[in-house]
Amino acid sequence: MSSSCTGLSRVLVAVATALVSAASSCPQAWGPPGVQYGQSGRSMTLCCPGVTAGAPVSWSRDGETRLLQGPDSGLGHELVLALADSTDEGTYICRTLDGALGGMVTLQLGYPPARPIVSCRAADYENFSCTWSPSQVSGLPTRYLTSYRKKTVPGADGQRVSPSTGPWPCPQDPPGATRCVVHGAEFWSQYRINVTEVNPLGASTRLLDVSLQSILRPDPPQGLRVESVPGYPRRLRASWMYPASWPRQPHFLLKFRLQYRPVQHPAWSMVEPAGLEEVITDAVAGLPHAVRVSARDFLDAGTWSAWSPEAWGTPSTGPLPKEIPAGGKPYTQPKEKPQMDSPAPPRPSLLPDPRPLDHRDPLEQMAVLASLGIFSCLGLAAGALALGLWLRLKPDGKDGHQKPGFLAPMIPVDKLPGAPNL
């Protein structure tokens, strides 16, 4: 019962406030003192700020001697402008019957607020921000009220939303900016954002439902570097780092995609690296290349980040480098005389091998070859058996008499037709 009374009292207060505002022909000041706001194309009523309500005054435009309205108009301290437009904007002066200055009013016209355009984005899995812009320029001083609450799924018994779900204010960062930030959000929860545009002619609200996993879009990777690989004229090594805004946790990782192209070519090639670096193996020798990289949640939540700033690199054109030890002289392997009795194992080279590496296991190769040999023998044996059976069963086409088949020797001679009985 108490909750019903509280709700009814709130409704009555709102109605009373609306009635008071409607009954007041001169609206309260909104913004700097002495400025009055109105809507273009509507009638406006100006009030002389320095006199008692109802006292007769005369009105004129600032810088003009012609009276717009005399004290005998019967409108007291008010000035009515029918269908005000941009030509009516400016400063108006009101004077009392004795010619004393009653006050000055500056008229500024505009439009009521419209529902703002709101979008939200999460740069990590703990915080998100929302930005907005007006869908219609009002031409009047405007401010925004921002709040949010966590959405809950109502139960079967229609339970009311608990107080722990908000609403809470969404702080604008910095104050007065068209951006607010929600800290400490839950990754699997849904939120309702409320952005209300307010100006002297009214207010308009936009509600937006968001979930953190759907608006997740990391910042671009940082520290992109592109280096040549000495001795390899078609290779470039690119490396980068996680964006600083992404917390490094083992259960929330990022995956990456990398694009590269020679600077003279408009088309990009793309690969998806497995870590924080990638070796490009098909670069064009002698040409500088542009490289960029973007990031996304490892489990494909949200969308890809924007591309990082491009970094440039040119493949190496020199020969393979030689390892130089600490002494400063390049190492040369001493020549040894070959010994036929006990050949010494060759000393491993310190130079990189330019030939492609074969990562296959020798035992695996031998097993594959043995399997192929066994299957080949079985195939040949099956083919020989099939050929022998076909030759046995093939009829003789030279005379009309058919030779007995391979089952003839198994039939007793005394059972053959025409054989004498012994």
Q: What is the mean pLDDT of each run of 10 residues along the chain (422 residues)?
A: 39 35 50 86 86 84 82 78 89 86 89 94 93 91 93 57 73 86 89 94 94 93 95 94 88 93 93 94 93 95 96 84 51 47 43 44 64 82 83 62 48 50 44
Q: Are 256 and 324 in contact (CB under 8 A)?
A: no
pLDDT at 380: 86
pLDDT value of position 269: 95
Nearest by Cα to 81 from 35, 53, 34, 46: 46
Q: What is the pLDDT of residue 170?
A: 93
SS3 361: coil
Amino acid identity, residue 250? P
Q: How far apart are CA 96 and CA 57, in angstroms?
A: 5
Query: Which phi and psi (to 5°) does residue 411 adopt?
Result: -95, 130
Instruction: List pLDDT tens digits, range 53-71.
Output: 878 888 888 888 788 887 7
Task: Tell how far CA 140 is from the center of its chain.
Answer: 34
- Cβ-in-10-Å burial (0-12, 13-18, 19+) of 151 comes to middle
pLDDT digits (tens, 9 = 90+) for 238-270: 999 999 999 877 788 999 999 999 998 999 999
**Closest among 41, 7, 243 to 125, alpha carbons compared:** 243
Gyration radius of the chain over CA positions = 45
pLDDT at 8: 33
Give the pLDDT score at 390. Answer: 77
CB-based contacts of 210, cutoff 8 Å, min separation 6: 120, 128, 130, 190, 191, 192, 193
What gap in Å lies between CA 110 and CA 137, rounded to an integer?
A: 9
* Predicted TM-score of the model (pTM): 0.60
Tens of pLDDT, residue by residue over 357-415, are 444 455 566 666 777 878 788 888 888 888 888 787 766 555 445 444 444 444 454 55
Partner residues linked to 110 by β-bridges: 39
Please state, rounded to an integer, the average pLDDT across all residues of the chain: 77
What pLDDT, on the 0 to 100 scale, is given for residue 29? 57
Q: Collapsing DSSP states into helix, strand and coil, what is residue 367?
A: helix
Please tell me the predicted confidence (pLDDT) of residue 11: 35
Phi, psi angle pair for 365, to nearest 5°: -65, -40
